[in-house]
Amino acid sequence: MALDGCNHLIQRFEETIANPVRPVPGSSLYTGVDLGTAYIVLAVVDGQGQPVAGAMRFAQVVKDGLVVEYMRAVEIVKELKAELEARLGTELYAAATAYPPGTGGADMRAIRYVAQSAGFDVRGSIDEPTAANAVLGITDGAVVDIGGGTTGVAVFRKGEVVYVADEPTGGTQFSLVIAGALKIPFEEAETMKIDPAQEDRLQPLIRPVMEKVASIIRTHIKEYTVPTLYLVGGTSCNKYIGGVIAQETGLTVVKPGNPFLVTPLGIALHAVAADQESVDRSQEPG
């Protein structure tokens, strides 16, 4: 499947991170709040789903999809919100959040409460791989969101979600392996991991973790006919991971241009959709 439309949208979002688009006064804006294991990302779109702005911050306030430093998470989201508001010249209200598949009710609410405590009116919450598909727009296949702490899988059939799952294992495990093998601090390993110049050197060390990710995917899709895997999430940016997963699963693997930005953008698009659904319900007779 060609991802030209998806890649164009992601590229526009990437551009607005450095150069936000000043909105027309009075226009509606929607924010996706993505609390990741390594990064907190805010994505802002207009009412037509077009990217307007974005901001991110490295933060380890979430572990395996669970908020472990609540007040610090709120503080960072507040700071990013204020930064974007200053750059856009307007306040941001409407938002959506996302959670790893399989997250329990209390943990889902904690993610939502972070956004609310930062000053957002949360219009909806959605699992991360399904949020990513708001950008990808696939009808048949599996979206695999490989983040810092977890790997989430959503299987789609005729445009509908038929299965979701999530397991611990992601970029954090890559960093732990690198830190242990090279006897360096975890923070230094994190920096090395995302440096394209280091990928060839590190590949022999982290390939077993990639194979573990492939095993997770294979386990969760075994009951379904999945023609193609679509990789998103920051860990999917590694140039080798698609090939390893393809080899281990025997399936076609597709990656968008910047996998890291897909999910936060999809969360923002979910905020638009959730707001429209609310309007539609309010207009129903009786």
What is the C-alpha to C-alpha distance for residues 120 and 141, in angstroms, rounded to an integer? 33
Q: Copy the structure tokens of residue 147.
A: 């983040």
CATH of the domain at 72: 3.30.420.40
Please count the structural domains in the chain.
1
Domain-located, residue 103:
yes
List per-residue pLDDT tens for the chain, 286 residues long: 468 889 999 999 999 999 999 888 888 999 999 998 889 999 999 999 999 999 999 888 887 678 889 999 999 999 999 999 999 999 999 999 998 887 777 888 899 999 999 999 999 999 989 999 999 999 999 999 998 888 999 999 998 999 999 888 889 999 999 999 999 999 999 999 999 999 999 999 999 999 999 999 999 999 999 999 999 999 999 999 999 999 999 999 999 989 999 999 999 999 999 988 765 555 655 5
What is the C-alpha to C-alpha distance for residues 51 and 64, in angstroms, rounded to an integer? 28
User: Distance between terminal CA atoms of the chain?
Assistant: 43
Report the predicted TM-score, pTM, of the whole model to 2 decimal places: 0.91
Domain-located, residue 243:
no
Domain-located, residue 181:
no
- Domain with 89, as residue range(s), is 4-132+261-282
Domain-located, residue 165:
no
Domain-located, residue 146:
no
DSSP, collapsed to helix, strand or coil, labels residue 239 as coil
Cα 195-196-197 angle, rounded to 5 deg: 90
